[in-house]
Amino acid sequence: MGRQNDINFLKAAGVLVSVIIVFASLIIYGLNDNRTPHYSPSKTAVGQEQGQGEQDNSSDESDMAVNSISELSLPELFSKVEKSVVQVANKEEAGITIGERLGSGFVYDKSGHIVTNYHVIAGGAAEGNVQITFLDGSTYNARLVGGDTFSDLAVLRLEGENIPEEKLIPLPIGDSTTLRVGEQVVAIGNPFGLSGSMTEGIISGLGRMLPSAERAEESDIIPSDLDSPTGFLIPDIIQTDAPINPGNSGGPLLNTQGEVIGINTAIFSTTGASAGVGFAIPSNTIKKVIPSLITTGNYQHPYLGIVGTDITPEIAEALGLPEARGFLVTDVSNGSPAQKAGIRGGTSLPTNIAGRGIAMGGDVILRIDENPVRKLDDVLTYLEREKKVGDTVQLTVLRNGGMESIDLTLGPRPTSLESQSQRPMGSLPPQENLPGPNQDQEQQQPPLADQLYNQCIEIAGKDICDFMFQR
């Protein structure tokens, strides 16, 4: 009997020990499991440090964290860039709220270089009459380092040896070639002299064209007759619906990471106020032009020296082309790269096509290197993005019913006076579309903006109309 009790006791003890071992194992497993870090999107988003082994297995979550950190809210974005955006004004206008030569700019580097539009400082900068004002009200004199009318860009440099280093916070320059229509953007500047103003919108369009600021008194309001420019063109322009007004010119257009993807340059308006159509010079043009302006004071744009018009359905029908694509050369500038390469202009008297007098018989440019050409924009955008003076391009042209390839070495774009002397008699400026059918009649009337300005004076008086129209 006693032996049986001993056996039963040992069995019970064994079961108890087994239960204890199993329970202890579960506790130890649980403790080890708690030591293994678990990652949630919220923890990853705030940048918590993770073990290397776990990072290798959670690359998707890491990518989400990077995107979350790089995307700034609008208040965060403004706080990040506000100290880098400045007001640009002539000295005599620095103390007034509204002025013709009042614009914006931003800090480019730690050396005190300020980037703005050329038309903002035209005239005053040459005489050393420019002042830069930061958001906190501190003001410094600045001198012109370099300017380029063809891209409407200029570089100023702050003068003085006691400029605090914390004032010079450069803005990063983004990549405008990756932009897509619909992306959110922010414009910061000094509309109507109201410093530190921010507006937001989206990218409404890409690859637009604007007339360059070849005239020193160029305005930041684009006239209503955009189809009839009167000089060289700026390609690859960004269009935005972010409200831009006079005084915003020269200020940055930013993405939601706080990178400069353009410089606010002009608005399309008949009243002088924002109509939801604003334009900005792309950041990749800034990357090419600004370093040259700093080192040499100028920038040489690659140049062909052709005059003509885009192929329309009417022109394509007249030429017997299967589709409306390409650029018809009607004239070639004297001594230009195009003339030296043997590009041919129109050989016949102007033909009336849809009310336009067009010299037919010239080359039709269909490709530049490996890039198809549907219109002049394609040529100019390719040259500005990818080429420089001295580079050779191959033009594929349609001539006398056959295809020919012509090598052309790009030259520097001439100034307005030089282009006048190179221009064939009676032709338009190089690389410019021909006028519309009613241009002669339109030129006999005042521009639409002037007509509206005069009507405004009759209704509201000169003072308020001068303000609205920036007269």
Active site amino acids: 119, 152, 249
Contact between 310 and 327 under an 8 Å Cβ cutoff? The reply is yes
Nearest to 82 by CA among 139, 156, 135: 135
Question: What is the distance of C-alpha 253 from the center of its chain?
Answer: 8
The full length of the chain comes to: 471
Please give the structure tokens belonging to residue 424: 């064939």
Q: What share of the chain is helix, strand, coil (3-state, %, to 5)?
A: 35, 25, 40
Contact between 343 and 308 under an 8 Å Cβ cutoff? The reply is no
**Secondary structure string (H, E, C) spanning 164-183:** CHHHCCCCCECCHHHCCCCC
Looking at residue 171, its amino acid is L
CA–CA gap between residue 389 and residue 150 (Å, rounded) = 15
Q: What angle, rounded to 10 degrees, do the helices at 448-460 and 462-469 form?
A: 150
E strand or H helix at 466, and its extent?
Answer: helix 462-469
Bridge partners of 307, per DSSP, are: 331
CB-facing half-sphere around the CA of 99: CA atoms within 13 A: 21
Environment class of residue 91 by beta-carbon count within 10 Å: exposed (0-12), middle (13-18) or buried (19+)?
middle
CA–CA gap between residue 241 and residue 3 (Å, rounded) = 97
Cα 120–Cα 268–Cα 229 angle in degrees, nearest 5: 80
Residue with tokens 């880098």: 84
Contact between 39 and 54 under an 8 Å Cβ cutoff? The reply is yes
Please give the structure tokens belonging to residue 376: 């002049």
Q: What angle, rounded to 10 degrees, do the helices at 283-296 and 376-386 form?
A: 50
C-alpha distance from residue 158 to each of 145, 148, 288, 290, 367 (Å): 10, 19, 22, 16, 45
Contact between 248 and 208 under an 8 Å Cβ cutoff? The reply is no
CA–CA gap between residue 435 and residue 420 (Å, rounded) = 18
Please give the structure tokens belonging to residue 306: 């052709």
CA–CA gap between residue 239 and residue 148 (Å, rounded) = 21
